[in-house]
Structure 1
Amino acid sequence: MGSVWVNGKPADTIDVRDRAFTYGDGLFATMAVDGAGAIQFLSCHLQRLTDGAARLGFSWQPSETLLTLLTDTAGRFPRHCLKLQLSRGVGGRGYAPPTAPQITEVLSVSPIPVHYTSWQQQGIKLQTSTVQLAKQPLLAGIKHLNRLEQVLIKSYALDEDCDDWLVCDTDGWLVESSMANLFLLFQDENDQWQALTPAMNNCGVSGVMRQQVIMTLLAMGVHVQVVPVTYDWLARVSHLFISNSLLGTVDVIAADSYHFAVWPGSAQLRENLAIQL
């Protein structure tokens, strides 16, 4: 039990009546710890959890005890992943939530997947999933605990030479990969770099790294648009990459029958983001 804490205490179980278990009623964040034992973009992760809790209808702020636990744990586990899960706790009748929830906080530690380094070095190939994301604006963007769509996506076997799934919504709009956000890049008629990232108005997860990438691209002089993106844009762009908090950014060299070159600015982008794998 040295790498799992429930409400600040070493443990590896929660109450079976907890709404995380019964309804997936909660949120989570996955945070990378750098080589110096510091959590990357910690304040952004915590703010997204606070905002997500408000959207689900309960109030949450990180306590000093939790902040100390996060800091101490990161110091003990450099180059690891910290996962912080929040649930509305035990209570309520049926689906109806309790009026005064007692939030359950679960912190766990795991290694960052070793293949992410080779992904950064070599790029990856995506394959479009036959499982599409349902549209629910009330949940769009937040990282809630109900990940059944992603479970279904991952239940299918990828083609042997592919690394992850490309995911669309039920109207066929590009949304994300099974685990990361998408960025499509091209040069306009003035040779200026333009980037598109799919809007998250109806479904998908708006990752902390996505926001960091948007701000960093803008600082690099890249014009970024957050807009609905149709699948046929894959035929109209020269570069594609994915992003999340653990792998940073990874170039996509192929998606279905489309092929892409590694974006010339990728190394500089990762350096500006101070991403370490």
Structure 2
Amino acid sequence: MFLINGEQQEHLPAGDRATQFGDGCFTTARIVDGEVCLLEAHLRRLQDACERLMIPFSDGESLRREMIALAAEKRSGVLKAIVSRGVGGRGYSGGACLQPTRILSISDLPAHYARWRSEGIALATSPVRLGRNPALAGIKHLNRLEQVLIRAHLEQTGADEALVLDSEGVVTECCAANLLWRKGEEVFTPRIDQAGVDGIMRQFCLQQLARSRFRVVEVSVDESALLDADEAIVCNALMPVVPVRAWGEMRWASRELYSFLAPLCEQTR
């Protein structure tokens, strides 16, 4: 089901800048018992992204009402919200775009996440690297061709998720999740100031860890840093947290960090 600017429909104008240039941003939220988990965080993400992309979005309250109403129709699932610059003019200039476009859709929650949480997942290092661009780093914008290529390569392996580096060989994220790893009571996660997405669940996990016995360190390191880890986990708004059991020859059995975060991440409504 789709809502476009509050109307139930599935047709977007061909001139919308989402299709012309990937000119917009999005967020993907988990629905539990008809409610949007971390709704306010998702709305802030969209507003912050619009400000950084200079999209004059002022329909935050309409979007909030639409997200709440759409989620109420589904006990469990996924809600995706997109804001594009809208329609207007031609070429790269968005000066003629007078009204941003709101696009909402709902779908089923991926069934394999429950198995992943129980069994853990395997990572494979992706041959596709993320380009560095501080102006866009952290934003979940609509230009996702890097992730499309990462997924295509991942599907040729037996792994569940990809370990993704940037163009300088720095560990950045996974294909559709953020990465954290633990050494003793120190928890490391990649900096997201050059590339990658600052995920909603990443933000939530870091907030919880800041109030715990663990010490969080944001780092710019190559993949060899994972060789010293006692444990690794991945997270996104839908999973929400999953343990990593293997990466190449590495095997992890510890779930200390996972056991701390998992119950907290289930209390996000």
Q: Deviations over 1:85-127 (max 9, x none)?
A: 1100112330111255310000000111000000001100000
1:243 aligns with 2:253: no
Cα distance, 1:142 vs structure 2? 0.2
Q: Which residue of 2 aligns with 1:206?
A: 198
Residue pair 2:85, 2:97 contacting (<8 A) in 1 also: no
2:42 corresponds to 1:45: yes
Q: Find runs of 4+ consecutive structure 1 residues off by over 6 angstroms.
A: none
Structure 2 residue corresponding to 1:114, chosen from 111, 116, 119? 111
Moved more, 144-153 or 161-170: 161-170
- What is the alpha-carbon distance in structure 2 between the residues aligned to residue 94 and residue 53 of structure 1? 20
Gaps in structure 2 of 5+ consecutive residues: none
Deviation of the 1:62 alpha carbon = 4.0
Q: Which moved more, 1:50-59 or 1:258-267?
A: 258-267
Moved more, 9-18 or 217-226: 217-226
Q: Percent identity?
A: 35
Residue 84 of structure 2 is matched in structure 1 by 87
Q: Distance in 1 between matches of 2:111 and 2:133?
A: 34
Match of 2:5 in 1: 7
RMSD: 1.5
Shift of 1:261: 2.1
Partner of 2:221: 229
Q: Which runs of 5+ in 1 are unaligned?
A: 188-192
> Which stretch has the larger CA shift, 150-159 or 218-227?
150-159
Cα distance, 1:146–1:220 mapped onto 2, change above 3 Å: same
Provide the TM-score with structure 2 as the length reference.
Answer: 0.95
Paired amino acid for 1:257: E
Counterpart code for 2:30: A
Other-structure match for 1:268: 260
Post-superposition Cα deviations, 1:143-190, rounded to whole Å, max 9, x if no partner, equal 000100011111225465411111101111101110000001011xxx
Residues in 2 aligned to 1:104 and 1:9: alpha-carbon distance in whole angstroms:
11
**Aligned partners of 2:23, 2:149: CA distance in 1, in Å?**
19
Higher deviation after alignment, 147-156 or 120-129: 147-156
Give the distance between the partners of 1:99 and 1:29, measured in 2 at CA. 25
What secondary structure, in the 3-state scheme, does the structure 2 residue paired with 1:183 have? strand
Contact 1:123 1:262 in 2 (8 A): no
The number of equivalent residue pairs is 268
Give 3-state SS (helix, strand or coil) of 1:86's partner: strand
Distance 1:157 1:41, change over 3 A: closer
The answer to whether the 8 A contact 2:154-2:162 is kept is no
After the TM superposition, which of the residue ranges 228-237 and 79-88 deviates more from structure 2?
228-237
| Amino acid in the other structure paired with 1:120 | R
Q: Relative to 1, partners in 2 of residues 1:90 and 1:254: Cα closer, same or farther, differing over 3 Å?
A: same
In structure 2, distance between residues paired with 1:149 and 1:208: 20
Paired residue type of 1:210: R
